[in-house]
Amino acid sequence: MKKLNILTIILLIVGSSGFAQEQVLYKQIDSTELFMELYRPQKSDTAYKYPAMVFFFGGGWKGGSRYQFLNQAKYFSKRGLICFLVDYRIEEKHGTSPFESLKDAKSAIRYIRKNASELGVDPNKIIAAGGSAGGHLAVATALIQNYNEETDDLSVRCIPNALVLFNPVIDNGPGGYGHARIGDEYRRFSPIHNLKKETPPTIFLLGTKDDLVPVETAQYYEKVMKRVGSRCELKLYKGKEHGFFNYKNFSSYKRTVLHIDKFLKSLGYLNEEPRVRVE
């Protein structure tokens, strides 16, 4: 890999599992530093540009940890993707609102695309993924035009090429999640209110007993996506609740990982059948 700015890469670890981890400073706002952690394919080829999968953790824009999707990142890095676990500003740690969280998510995508050559990433194969509020951030990078950091280079697109959404918060309107904090801004912030043609191909993973994201809302989202000519695969998991996909629920974790694997293979981001175990 080519050398990035001396302030960018602060840590390099080669884990016992064999893939390299790099902690990258992608954004600084005053004294707040925001990092993303990279997981590369084993024995990666520095001459090859890999698809990237960018994970945003859940937690209602209030809390959470970038390591929520650690196991998914390890699996998909073994499958041939460069995976990024992204920090972003949250209320409990930074005293910020959901709007700052979205600004950071957009900054993360722009950073990866702008530095794609140095990172070994194919800038035309960036997958945004996330769960719950992190799912909102993933899809909002594609759909929401506002809430851009003033220091960002807006000539660099923040729109990903594909979306992987784990019970995402897609409705911030009246009656939807987070409306008390979003208020009338929901018209410019809520994904379901901003669906449009050429939304990236999407897989939407949802439990039928989710108490935050109603099945009917997800089905409407899928219907509108198809109406505007965009691909959306809604996967419903019977009897599963919010957060069912997390690693502690190993059976559901494995099912969702394999469904995502099949989806990404259909896009040409992965090759052949999985040759690694889901663990």
- Across the range 124-153, mean pLDDT stands at 98
251-254 contacts: CB < 8 A, separation 24 or more?
253/71, 253/72, 253/278, 254/278
pLDDT at residue number 16: 38
Domain containing residue 90: CATH number: 3.40.50.1820
pLDDT in tens, 226-257: 999 999 999 999 999 999 999 999 999 999 99
Please state the domain count of the chain.
Answer: 1
Which residue range(s) make up the domain with 235? 42-266
Judge whether 28 lies within some domain: no
- Residue 17: is its pLDDT beyond 50? no
Judge whether 216 lies within some domain: yes
Judge whether 7 lies within some domain: no
Judge whether 25 lies within some domain: no
Judge whether 261 lies within some domain: yes
Nearest Cα to 210, choosing from 181, 173, 237, 188? 237
- Residue 2: is its pLDDT beyond 90? no
Token readout for 100 is 């700052």
Judge whether 70 lies within some domain: yes
Average pLDDT, the chain: 92
pLDDT in tens, 38-71: 999 987 788 899 999 999 999 999 999 999 999 9
- Residue 273: is its pLDDT beyond 50? yes
Contacts of 141 (CB under 8 A, 6+ apart): 102, 105, 106, 109, 128, 158, 159, 160
What is the model's pTM?
0.93
